[in-house]
Amino acid sequence: MENRRSTAREFVHGLTALILALFLLGVSSSLGVMKSIVDIWGALLFIPEYPAVVMREMFLGWRSWSRDKDILSAEVTRLKSENATLRLELARVAGERAYSDDMKPDAKTARVTLRAPMSWWSEIRIDRGRNDKITQGLPVFSNGYLVGRVSSVSMMSSWAELITSSSFMIPAVIEETRELGVVAGDGNGSVLLRYIPAGRGVRSGMKVSTAMIGEQLPPGLPIGQIAGEFSPGTDGYATYRIEPGADLSRFYTVSY
């Protein structure tokens, strides 16, 4: 008996709630006051909802920042690649110009008369001397690229120290990045560019020429191009291998 009464009470309350909900559903859309109630309830909930709003804005801001960062990073990578390509193209044009300058009519040539096996990568003798206005420190070229400089002059001949000599050290610049370093030979046929700060975006193919801070050599004389990183260095400076523009194994004459 008690249980039945209890069920009846639940039924009455449930039915009342259902009818009320249906009534509200039916008439509330036509009640003008509903908009005000919605606004008031929204305003009341503003305070408890505020942390969620702040967190949502933070999350959206972080997501937007992350997305923008990815876009910018991709753009920077693209621009770097484009920049490197343009610099290489510029260097190629500059190299061609240097080559043509070397081929100009007033360039004088000298024949290599001695290249001793014991000092194969260190020095050569040419058949021009003081009588031909050769002076100490004068740069000599092959194929438009620096191969060395005159180290001693006599009346009829001169000795030129090659860029592969271990005692050959001249200031040089990477044309694309304007990074300054020192070009030095290792005495075994390799030419290195030393003291370039690590992580400066130096890439293979970039042109290397003499720097204007040299005491004897004029700036802008083409030497060759970066062939790759030789050693990253432990002191923050990297060393790069240089591929000389001149073929140091096959040159019989030099220009000056």
Partner 1 sequence: MLIILWLIQDLLTVFTGGGMQIPGLFMLGIVFKLLFNDGSDDGSIWAIWAAFSGGILWDIRWIGIPGFFSLGYVVVVLIVIQVWGLIPPQGRESGTGLIVFLLLEASQLIPPAIPVLVLGGSTGWNYFLMQQVYSLPAILLTMYIYVQKLKSINL
Q: Which residues bind partner 1 (CB under 8 A)?
A: 6-7, 9-10, 13-14, 17-18, 20-26, 28-29, 34, 37-38, 41-42, 45, 48-49, 51-53, 55-56, 59
Q: 66, exposed or middle or buried, with CB in 10 Å at 0-12, 13-18, 19+?
A: exposed
User: Whole-number minimum distance, CB 58 to partner 1, in Å?
Assistant: 10
User: Whole-number minimum distance, CB 13 to partner 1, in Å?
Assistant: 5
Non-local (6+) Cβ contacts of 250 within 8 A are none
User: Which of residues 43 and 118 has its CB atom nearest to partner 1 in the complex?
Assistant: 43
Q: CA 204 → CA 89, 190, 215, distances in Å?
A: 13, 16, 28
User: Whole-number minimum distance, CB 196 to partner 1, in Å?
Assistant: 51
Q: Would you give the DSSP letter of residue 187?
A: S
User: Which of residues 11 and 65 has its CB atom nearest to partner 1 in the complex?
Assistant: 11
Contact 131/156 with Cβ under 8 angstroms? Answer: yes
Q: Would you give the DSSP letter of residue 200?
A: S
* CA–CA gap between residue 176 and residue 178 (Å, rounded): 6
Q: Which residue in the block uniquely carries the two structure tokens 């304007």?
A: 178
User: Which of residues 15 and 114 has its CB atom nearest to partner 1 in the complex?
Assistant: 15
User: Whole-number minimum distance, CB 71 to partner 1, in Å?
Assistant: 22
* CA–CA gap between residue 76 and residue 166 (Å, rounded): 40
Non-local (6+) Cβ contacts of 124 within 8 A are 112, 114, 115, 148, 159, 160, 162, 254
User: Whole-number minimum distance, CB 23 to partner 1, in Å?
Assistant: 8
User: Which of residues 44 and 90 has its CB atom nearest to partner 1 in the complex?
Assistant: 44
* CA–CA gap between residue 151 and residue 65 (Å, rounded): 60
Query: Which pair of structure tokens corresponds to residue 198?
Result: 């690590």
User: Whole-number minimum distance, CB 69 to partner 1, in Å?
Assistant: 22
